Amino acid sequence: MRIGLNEELNTGKSQLKGYSSDVRVDECRFHQAVKLEEFDTFRILNVCPSQGEVNCCHTHRNAISNNSCMDSLCCCFFLQQTVMQYQLCDELPCAPFQLFPSVQKDYVNSMSQELSSPDQTAELQPKSKALLWEIPRFPGGAQLSALFKVDVPGLSSASLLEVGPVSMSFELPKQTCSGLQIRFLQLSPTQTGLSQHWVQYVTHSDSYIRI
């Protein structure tokens, strides 16, 4: 199988950033079944996969793109209770969406919330020391917000330093946030062109964490 990727794909942290529209990733790791004879020159992967599912390539990017499809604004302040406010901006539709703000406290008396729509839910999860904010559907171009008030005994303003990072769980269909695209896919040397019905783009949150 031959898989053609973006011709303008740049790999490695030493590449120039500038204002170029080229696709850039800091790190690119390939499965052992992937042959790279044509990759450096033509950005083509030759794959001889075994039976079943194979992850041909893992890419990593440290820098946050200005064209990121998802952005979050998090605010936490102390006013008798710990008050955490979260605001999410999404450029593309995704479903479902989950956000996990970390509380990092062993005991919480109560929690109240103000959500931006009635179909959203919020739940305190004592075992994982986190709040779970679930959004069944997140339409593209939308901005959603939530206000959580968490009552913790013996809390002080210094306790805000113990508020952990926010992790997100989501899926974006028909989208690759990295900009990586399949230029063509050939199952044999005689086949030409791209078989569109074999290609499906989807972005998973994986380890998306906002500190």
Does any domain span residue 211? no
- Note the pLDDT tens digit of each residue in 138-186: 777 778 888 888 776 666 666 666 666 777 787 777 777 777 888 888 8
Does any domain span residue 162? yes
| Mean per-residue pLDDT, 28-56 | 89
Q: Do 152 and 188 have their domain in common? A: no
d(CA 163, CA 194): 49
**DSSP calls for 81-134:** EEEEEEEEEESS-BSSEEEEEB---S---EEEEEESSTT-EEEEETTTTEEEEE
d(CA 22, CA 7): 9
Q: Do 167 and 188 have their domain in common? A: no
Does any domain span residue 31? yes
Q: Do 159 and 120 have their domain in common? A: yes
Share of the chain above pLDDT 70, in %: 59
CATH code of residue 145? 2.60.40.1170
Q: Do 104 and 167 have their domain in common? A: yes
Q: Which domain holds residue 48?
A: 2-63+174-202
Does any domain span residue 208? no
Q: Is the pTM of this model over 0.75?
A: no
Q: Do 23 and 93 have their domain in common? A: no
Q: Do 152 and 122 have their domain in common? A: yes
How many domains does the structure of the chain reveal? 2
Does any domain span residue 210? no
Say which range, 14-28, 108-122, 168-182, has the weakest mean pLDDT: 14-28
